[in-house]
Homo-oligomer: A and B are copies of this chain.
Amino acid sequence: MISQDNHLQIGSLLFEGLDQIDLTGPFEVFSRLPGSTYRVFGKTNTPVRDLRGLRLMPDAVLSEAPQLDLLHVPGGFGQEALMEDQDVLAWIRDQAAGLRCLFSVCTGALICGAAGLLKGRRATTHWASMHLLPFFGAIPVDERVVVDGNIVCAAGVTAGIDGALRVAVDLRGTEVAQAIQLALAYAPEPPFSSGTPQTAPPAVLERVQGSYQAVTAQRERTARRVAKRLGIDSSRQPTGTPPIGAA
């Protein structure tokens, strides 16, 4: 546990087409950490739209960020452009060298992977993209929060809240994280058990998989190009829709 005298610089990466709760879920947790400065960093100073249209404003641009202690990389379909954006990838790599914690949520793991940071690391992402992790040399682990050294990956979308509480424990201790959980009244009661491919009704799973097919195929094409750039042999990776629940 790190002393609270030790001020934390926390930053989230904001980009066009992110899935907003990948950012706003962890924001709710990290913004309550004592002894911290939290800013949202964008490529430009203008608002971005999340993949469903919510508009969020950055606090500063990437080049204005100090060396961060915690860098939070959300996901969402907009991750596609970032996986081949060498400026953003270089910024993440430069930050990573001095971070206490790199924290990805959902397909934010694909961005971190494209930055070359997941080679040989245990990692997770949204269930529909889990099969893409080996293209970055990562070892897929079908758990909600995966910790490998100073890299923490949360699985899909809402898993960012659980992952952020885990990171909060590492940075400020259990009691602080518990106090944040109480303040957020985070005692979830989902009305169904439809939150994973293993537990959703088959018709629901089929419907959601169908809606992801095009974007997953697109992500795979991008992942193959990235694998080539990273020098990872992707010839033995499977193609197409991932087997359900496969790690």
Residues of A within 8 A of B (CB): 19-21, 24-25, 27-28, 31-32, 38, 40, 47, 52-57, 59, 106, 126-127, 144-145, 155-159, 161-162, 165-166, 169, 174-175, 177-179, 181-197, 199-201, 203-205, 207-208, 211
B183 and A208 contacting across the interface, CB-CB below 8 Å: yes
B157 and A182 contacting across the interface, CB-CB below 8 Å: no
Q: Give A29 to B40 CA distance when docked, in angstroms.
A: 23
B204 and A178 contacting across the interface, CB-CB below 8 Å: yes
Residues in chain B near residue A194, CB distance under 8 A: 177-179, 181-182
Q: Which of B53, B162, B183 contacts A191 (CB 8 A)?
A: B162
Q: Give A162 to B19 CA distance when docked, in angstroms.
A: 18
A192 and B203 contacting across the interface, CB-CB below 8 Å: no
- Nearest to A30 among chain B residues (CB) is B52
Residues in chain B near residue A25, CB distance under 8 A: 21, 24-25
B196 and A185 contacting across the interface, CB-CB below 8 Å: yes
Given known A156-B184, A182-B194, A204-B175, contact A54–B40 (CB-CB < 8 A): yes
Given known A31-B54, A32-B52, A55-B56, contact A187–B190 (CB-CB < 8 A): yes
B185 and A157 contacting across the interface, CB-CB below 8 Å: yes
B31 and A24 contacting across the interface, CB-CB below 8 Å: no
Q: How distant is A77 from chain B, measured CB to nearest CB, in Å?
A: 12
Given known A28-B157, A127-B185, contact A191–B175 (CB-CB < 8 A): no
